[in-house]
A and B are shown apart, each in its own frame.
Chain A
């Protein structure tokens, strides 16, 4: 059974008197363990697709089955639960809680999952160690570099063992060297069997994926296998992943 199956998914926004068709009917199947890049210029509908895939938003019509469950018409609270269990987000602007230290940021999904305190602490420490931040557990986001912040975000995305890691322009706010670092991290995760979806408009970033889906005007323009994905330089710090 595929991990994600979507069929004829549409999303319309009503803006004043106009209706914007952000997605006009997208069908897609994603298998477990794939490393996919979703590409497209701004306004193409790729962000809308990402929001739908990440269960942050509900489609106007169509069918979306995630890990065997139809999530297309779930209510807010049910979707929150699905996000907590199935999806790990990595955002362009990191989106860490500024007043909390790394450890607490990584613990957060576990808190919402209702994991007991000592157990979640252990898991969060493990996740931080895995991304090479074992020494930075009690640093607040503003005490960390951009790359380190994104690694905290990756640790937070992974701590719940989600079905998908969904990354939205994960290297957009990083210099190319630290961007490489994060992409290297994704490669390792992919090799370990994690499903990774990266939404980007940078060809360089997309070339790391093994499958590239191109969106244009709310439709899939191309869906092709990347014959030779580019390998990122592996960083010392991530040796433990």
Chain B
């Protein structure tokens, strides 16, 4: 008998056997259903997290180096060692721009929080950016109305600003932002431009609730101790490591770091974030899948149990089948198919339950159920059935026909 007919016959037998024990099959599947639901939800959460992270990373270009006082990925010890580092200065930024040869553009920026008002309208906790004329290009932004900061604005620290689209819409619903005067804390600023909509960051942070002012004004009037970042957009992504070395050399010279001392600054890049996320995300995924996999394992044990019962109950049937010519493999396949049918059904049911739950989870955390996850879940269900059904099926297959026929 070929494997295909064996398989077809087994499916028919499996259905008949399950129909004969509907309640039992239903209860048995429960464990697998719960297992599949939890594994699938974990999977959707992980893929959702990944997708959200990737999307957020788009805001940090891969071809940009961030020269800052601190590394993005410092441990506690490094933090203690590095907290007394000298600040990055505007002069540092200008010198880097002048000396760097592998860069397409260099900008300097700093961030803070402030309250913005227009007449009686107020916005609290607005993200304040001190930028220069190159920031538009380096940060990969676009302006929809008016203009970006000019070199002159930055040099003389003019009281001008560019608004994020959210702020602009809130204050100027009729699109008459340009030329209006807004207040940032106590500063009076003239709106010269409005930025294109950017959306939200990873954590739900609204990128459009933003106001950009010249960095010179930022360091003078907004905060006395700005933490400056020099952003360097490299000319060629392939040369990013060379560019990094070059800037490292320039910065060490500018800040007069002795040759035997470590850098008193850090050069950050997207890579580091990606690596960090991959490490952390990988661990979370492993732990999460392991824990939710446990419930699947428990479900699998249930299947094994019920298959042992099924084999014991049908000893006579096995004897009959063997007497009229069923080989070991035939019996083995029959019971494996039966176990896999139970778990596949449970898997489908689990997916049906997990689907609306995914939509609920999506409200709090980006989650999605891609087709491959569905395929994997079904595959895992079938595998669970085959693995947990193997021992009982093996016992059935090895039965002695004489003994089996004697059973009631």
Partner pick for B316 among A54, A89, A95, CB 8 A cutoff = A95
Minimum CB distance partner of A51 in chain B: B402
Asked if residues A81 and B320 are in contact (CB atoms below 8 Å), the reply is: no
Closest A residue by C-beta to B20 = A99
Interface residues on A, range: 20 to 34
Most chain A beta carbons < 10 A, residue from B16, B400, B402: B402
Q: Mark A89-109, 1 if CB is under 8 A from B, else 0.
A: 101000111011000000011
Q: Is A57 an interface residue (CB 8 A)?
A: yes
Query: Once the chains are docked, how many angstroms separate the CA of A108 from the CA of B331?
Result: 13
Tell me the nearest residue of chain A to B398, going by C-beta: A76
Q: Which residues of A contact B326 (CB under 8 A)?
A: 80, 112
Whole-angstrom distance between the Cβ of A22 and the nearest chain B Cβ: 11
Q: Out of A57, A76, A99, A112, name the residue touching B16 (CB < 8 Å).
A: A99
> In the complex, what residues of B have CB within 8 A of residue A81's CB?
325, 327
Interface size on B, residues (CB 8 A): 25
Task: Evaluate contact between B405 and A114: CB separation under 8 angstroms.
Answer: no
CB-contact partner of B1 in A54, A99, A112, under 8 A: A112
Residue A84, interface by CB 8 Å: yes
- Specify the chain A residue showing the minimal Cβ separation from B1: A114
- A113 at the B interface (CB under 8 A): yes
Which of B9, B325, B327 is the most central at the interface, judged by chain A CB atoms within 10 Å of its CB? B325
Q: How far is the CA of A54 from the CA of B16 in the complex (A)?
A: 29
Cβ contact within 8 Å between B402 and A56: yes
Report yes or no: A113 in contact with B405, Cβ–Cβ below 8 A: no
Q: Contact between B325 and A113 (Cβ–Cβ < 8 Å)? A: yes
Say yes or no: A57-B325 contact (C-beta < 8 A), given A111-B1, A111-B9: no
Q: Convert B310-336 into 0s and 1s, putting 1 for each residue whose CB lies closer than 8 angstroms to a CB of A.
A: 000000110111111111111000000
How many Å lie between the Cα of A100 and that of B327 in the bound state?
A: 20
Name the residue among B1, B9, B328 with the largest chain A CB count within 10 angstroms: B1
Q: Is A77 an interface residue (CB 8 A)?
A: yes
Contact A89 B324 (CB under 8 A): yes
Q: Does A83 contact B (CB under 8 A)?
A: yes
Taking the complex as formed, is B2 at the interface, i.e. its CB lies under 8 A from any CB of chain A?
A: yes
Q: Assess the B1–A113 pair: CB atoms within 8 A.
A: yes
Which B168-204 residues sit within 8 Å CB-CB of chain A? none
Residues on the B chain within 8 Å of A100, using CB: 16
Q: How far is it, in angstroms, between the C-alpha of A206 and the C-alpha of B51 when the chains are bound?
A: 81
The answer to whether A46 has its CB under 8 Å from any CB of chain B is no
Q: Are the CB atoms of A80 and B322 closer together than 8 Å?
A: yes
Task: Determine the chain B residues whose CB is within 8 A of the CB of A112 once the complex forms.
Answer: 1, 321, 324-327, 330
A-facing mask of B5-22, CB < 8 A → 1, else 0? 100010000001100100
Flag if A80 contacts B325 (CB, 8 Å).
yes
For chain B, residues 217 to 275, give those with C-beta under 8 angstroms from any C-beta of chain A: none
| Chain B residues, CB < 8 A from A84 | 324-325
Give the residue of A56, A85, A108, A156 whose beta carbon is less than 8 angstroms from that of B401: A56
- Chain A residues 124-176 with CB under 8 Å of chain B are 156
Which A residue sits closest to B12, measured CB to CB? A104
The interface bits of chain B over 384-404 (1 if a CB of A lies within 8 angstroms of the residue's CB, else 0) are 000000000000000011100
27 pairs, CB–CB < 8 Å, chain A vs chain B: A51-B402, A56-B401, A56-B402, A57-B400, A76-B328, A80-B326, A80-B327, A80-B328, A81-B327, A84-B325, A95-B323, A95-B405, A96-B320, A97-B320, A97-B321, A99-B16, A99-B20, A108-B324, A109-B324, A111-B5, A112-B321, A112-B325, A112-B326, A114-B1, A114-B2, A114-B5, A156-B324
Closest 3 CB pairs of A and B: A84-B325, A112-B325, A114-B1
Which residues of chain A have a CB within 8 Å of any CB of chain B?
A: 51, 54, 56-57, 76-77, 80-81, 83-85, 89, 91, 95-97, 99-100, 108-109, 111-114, 117, 156
